[in-house]
C-alpha cells in the first residue's frame, strides 16, 4: 500500500508532499531530480514533472479531486515508507500563481525549493529548447522582440514567456504569501553548476536528511541545431530591447532585496 492509498483510506489530504521543487524552468531541475532519486529516504514520481498542481481537471477549486488523487497513486510505484520524504519536481509551479495555493491547501507544511538562474541565460536556454522541439519558429531576437512588442501580454504562454519567467520577484513573493520563510529554500543555478556539493548540502540540510555523494556529471545542454550553436557565439545583447533589459534589471534588484543575495552578475549580463 502506498502512502497515498493509506491517506485515501483515511480521507486525509494533508500529507501528500513533504517537499516540492517549484522552479525555475531551465535551472537544473533535471539534475536535481537525478540526484534526489538516488537518496534512499526520498521518493519521487517515476518521471520528473508530475504536473499535478497546474492542471485544473485535477482540482475542484483548490481541493484535489478523485482524478487528481488517482494521478498521484499511479505516479508513485514504490511501497510506502514512513521514513521517506515524498516530493515532486515540476518547474512550472512557481510561474503559475494558482499552483502555490493548491500546494498550500493540500499540505500547508510542504517545503518549497526554488532554483534561480540568470534571466538572460535562462531565456536563451528556454528558447533553444522550444526551437529544437519545433514549438518556436522564430529566431531568438525576433522572439524576444515579439514578447516586448506585446508588452508581456502573452506572459503565461509556455513558449513566448522567455523573459517574463525570469522576473522572479513576484513569483517568490507569491510563494512567501502562502508559505513561511522557514519552509522556503532559494538556491542558485550557478552554485549547482560550480559547487554542486555545497548546493546539495544546503538542500539536504533543509530537508533534514543525511548528505549523499554528488555525481559530478556535467549539466547537459538541450540538443540544438547548428544555427543555434552559431547564435550562441554571436549573441549581441544590444539586439534585445532595452525596455526588457531595464525591466529585468529592476526585477533583479527587487529579487536581491527579497532573498538577500547579491545578483549583480545577472544585471551585468544584460548590459555588458
pLDDT value at position 69?
87
We report the CATH number of the domain holding residue 125 as 3.40.50.300
Interstrand relation of 42-43 and 85-89 (parallel, antiparallel or unpaired): parallel
Q: Is residue 23 part of a domain?
A: yes
> Which residues, given as ranges, of the chain have pLDDT below 50?
1-2, 6-14, 224
As a whole number of Å, the end-to-end CA separation of the chain is: 56
Q: Cβ contacts of residue 168 below 8 Å, gap of 6+?
A: 24, 116, 119, 251, 255
Q: Is residue 272 part of a domain?
A: no
pLDDT value at position 135?
87
| Total count of domains within the chain | 1
Name the one residue in this structure whose C-alpha cell is 480521507.
Answer: 11
pLDDT value at position 132?
85
pLDDT value at position 1?
43
Q: Is residue 98 part of a domain?
A: yes
122-173 tens-digit pLDDT = 999 999 888 888 888 888 888 888 888 765 555 556 567 899 899 999 999 9
Q: Cβ contacts of residue 115 below 8 Å, gap of 6+?
A: 21, 23, 24, 27, 28, 29, 32, 186, 187, 188, 189, 192
How far apart, in Å, are the Cα atoms of 257 and each of 141, 169, 188, 261? 30, 9, 15, 7
Nearest Cα neighbor of 48 from 21, 13, 69, 73 is: 21
Nearest Cα neighbor of 20 from 58, 49, 40, 47 is: 49
How far apart, in Å, are the Cα atoms of 66 and each of 53, 131, 253? 14, 37, 43
pLDDT value at position 10?
38
Q: Is residue 254 part of a domain?
A: yes
pTM: 0.89
Owning domain of residue 63: 3-267
Q: What is the DSSP letter of 109?
A: T
Interstrand relation of 184-188 and 111-116 (parallel, antiparallel or unpaired): parallel
For 236, phi then psi, to 5°, come to -115, 105
How far apart, in Å, are the Cα atoms of 1 and each of 16, 73, 239, 272? 14, 10, 56, 56
pLDDT value at position 243?
84
Amino acid at each position: 500500500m502506498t502512502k497515498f492509498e493509506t491517506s485515501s483510506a483515511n480521507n486525509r489530504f494533508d500529507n501528500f508532499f513533504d517537499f516540492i521543487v517549484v522552479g525555475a524552468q531551465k535551472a537544473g531541475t533535471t539534475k536535481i531530480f537525478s540526484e534526489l532519486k538516488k537518496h534512499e529516504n526520498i521518493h519521487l514520481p517515476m518521471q520528473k514533472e508530475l504536473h499535478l498542481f497546474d492542471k485544473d481537471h485535477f482540482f475542484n477549486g483548490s481541493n484535489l479531486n478523485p482524478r487528481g488523487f488517482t494521478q498521484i497513486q499511479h505516479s508513485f510505484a514504490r511501497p510506502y515508507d514512513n521514513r521517506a520524504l515524498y516530493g515532486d519536481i515540476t518547474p512550472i509551479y512557481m510561474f503559475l500563481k494558482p499552483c502555490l495555493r493548491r500546494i498550500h491547501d493540500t499540505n500547508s507544511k510542504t517545503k518549497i525549493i526554488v532554483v534561480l538562474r540568470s534571466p538572460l541565460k535562462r531565456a536563451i536556454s528556454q528558447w533553444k529548447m522550444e526551437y529544437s522541439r519545433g514549438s518556436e519558429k522564430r529566431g531568438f531576437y525576433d522572439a524576444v522582440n515579439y514578447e516586448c512588442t506585446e508588452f508581456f501580454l502573452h506572459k503565461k504562454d509556455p513558449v513566448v514567456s522567455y523573459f517574463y519567467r525570469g522576473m522572479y520577484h513576484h513569483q517568490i513573493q507569491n510563494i512567501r504569501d502562502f508559505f513561511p520563510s522557514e519552509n522556503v529554500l532559494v538556491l542558485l543555478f550557478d552554485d549547482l553548476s560550480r559547487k554542486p556539493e555545497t548546493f546539495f548540502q544546503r538542500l539536504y540540510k533543509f530537508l533534514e536528511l543525511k548528505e549523499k555523494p554528488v555525481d559530478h556529471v556535467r549539466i547537459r545542454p538541450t540538443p540544438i541545431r547548428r544555427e543555434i550553436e552559431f547564435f550562441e557565439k554571436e549573441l549581441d545583447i544590444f539586439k534585445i530591447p532595452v525596455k526588457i533589459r531595464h525591466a529585468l534589471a529592476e526585477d533583479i534588484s527587487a529579487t536581491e532585496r527579497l532573498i538577500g543575495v547579491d545578483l549583480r552578475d545577472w544585471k551585468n549580463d544584460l548590459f555588458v
